[in-house]
Each structure stands twice: as structure tokens, then as C-alpha cells.
């Protein structure tokens, strides 16, 4: 299977689970993912240090969940954001997003080919989507191209555990047994949630993704693991 076929297969899988995606996320994370997303928004706003932001683009936006947090956290901090845009290759996900988020515009597109002008965006985010991008280095280069100088990229992602500590058996039990079973029950699509732990196992460690960001022209500003290292927040700035 070539990279295009693999990418198309992943997009089709997300089309199939779009309607139950939000519910599955809340159940599987016990609602904790909401706090992770808020932390990413807060840290990016803090490091960017602006009270007026022209554009925030959420890539692999799915149902637009993170855009809601970008808006709400901006309101709390008195930050004026002119333009919110959600980008995703899954038409099914965007159909749900358009019903849920009325303040943003949504565009069908890939992380590797962003429908954004050069140096047009202050913040680009991608939550739990970068591991699903087959040509990841192309995507990171695209983020760099579309960001204004000094702009921020925010990545929330499940990361592979490099060192196995005392909690490793618990993490493995959750990721390999509980998550696919519960996710399959909620979505009625067991294969999609079997893919998730497999995709994490094949993904990068925190150190490796940090290195790829630096190679793409970013300076790492903040890295924070959550919940025994299951999820990691990366905030990096365009050099």
C-alpha cells in the first residue's frame, strides 16, 4: 500500500466514526482530554503574547472541538481573534463540525497541503491527528510555511513510551484492551479503535517528535506529558 492509499484509508475510517467521535473521546479519556486541550490553548496564547490574533488554524480539526477551546480561552483572556479556520480531509468530520461550530469556517484539506497563504497564520494546532498524517515531515514544513514569523504550532498527541516504568502495565492494559473495546462499543466500529493503539505503538517518542519539529525550523517552547505519559503537549515557535 503506497502513502496515498494509506492516507485515504485513514480518512475513510474517520468518515465512518464521525457521528460518535466526540462521545467516544469523552468516554475514553474520562473527560480529561478537555483539560489537556485548554492547557494547550492557554500556553500558546501566553507564549505568543498578543491581544489581537489574525488567524488560528486547527488542522485535522475533526468535529471542531479544539476550536471551541481556542475561542473560549481567548474570551477569558481578552484576546481578539479575527479568523478561525478548521481544516480536515474527512468530509464526514467536517459535516459534524459545521453543525457544532458556527463561528469558524471549515475547509476540506490535508496537513501536507494546507489551504493557507504563506505566513498568514499566528497559531496552527493539531490535536490527536499528527500520527495519522502519513507524510509527517511534509506537514511540519507546511505548518512552518503558513505561520507568520514567531507563530506557534500546538500539537497534542498520544506518544510512544520510550522507558517502561511501574505504570507501564496499566497503560498497556488501557491502550490495548480497554480502549479498543469501549471505543468499538460506542462507535460500533471496532476496527477504528483497534487502529488507535496500533498507530500509537508505531508512532514517535516525545524526543523524536521534538527533534522533527526542530528540523522543520521550530524552536521548542514547551513540552508537557499528561496522564502517565499517555498524551503529550508540544508548543513550538517558528524561528
Binding residues for S-adenosyl-L-methionine: 63, 88, 127
Q: What are the DSSP calls for 35-90, one per residue?
A: HHHHHHHHHHHHHH--SEEEEEEEET-TTTHHHHHHHHHHHHHT-EEEEEEEEES-
d(CA 35, CA 176): 23
What distance in Å separates the CA atoms of residue 139 and residue 136, rounded to the nearest whole number?
A: 5
Give the pairing of strands 121-127 and 80-88: unpaired
* CA–CA dist 189, 161 (Å, integer): 26
Query: Which residues fall in the annotated binding site?
Result: 63, 88, 127
Amino acid at each position: 500500500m503506497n502513502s496515498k492509499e494509506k492516507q485515504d484509508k485513514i480518512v475513510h475510517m474517520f468518515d465512518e466514526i464521525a457521528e460518535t467521535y466526540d462521545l467516544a473521546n469523552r468516554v475514553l479519556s474520562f473527560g480529561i482530554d478537555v483539560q489537556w486541550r485548554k492547557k494547550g490553548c492557554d500556553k500558546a496564547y501566553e507564549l505568543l503574547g498578543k491581544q489581537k490574533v489574525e488567524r488560528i488554524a486547527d488542522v485535522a480539526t475533526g468535529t471542531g472541538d479544539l476550536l471551541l477551546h481556542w475561542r473560549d480561552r481567548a474570551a477569558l483572556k481578552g484576546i481578539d481573534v479575527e479568523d478561525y479556520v478548521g481544516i480536515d480531509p474527512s468530509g464526514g468530520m467536517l459535516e459534524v463540525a459545521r453543525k457544532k461550530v458556527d463561528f469558524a469556517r471549515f475547509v476540506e484539506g490535508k496537513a501536507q497541503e494546507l489551504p493557507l497563504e504563506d505566513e498568514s497564520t499566528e497559531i496552527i494546532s493539531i490535536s490527536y491527528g499528527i500520527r495519522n498524517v502519513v507524510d509527517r515531515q511534509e506537514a511540519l514544513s507546511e505548518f512552518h510555511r503558513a505561520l507568520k514569523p514567531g507563530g506557534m504550532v500546538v500539537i497534542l498527541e498520544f506518544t510512544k513510551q520510550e522507558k517502561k516504568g511501574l505504570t507501564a502495565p496499566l497503560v498497556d492494559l488501557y491502550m490495548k484492551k480497554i480502549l479498543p473495546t469501549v471505543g468499538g462499543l460506542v462507535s460500533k466500529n471496532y476496527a477504528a479503535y483497534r487502529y488507535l493503539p496500533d498507530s500509537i505503538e508505531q508512532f514517535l517518542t516525545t524526543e523524536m517528535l521534538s527533534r522533527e519539529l526542530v528540523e522543520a525550523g521550530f524552536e521548542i517552547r514547551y513540552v508537557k506529558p499528561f496522564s502517565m505519559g499517555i498524551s503529550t503537549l508540544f508548543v513550538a515557535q517558528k524561528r
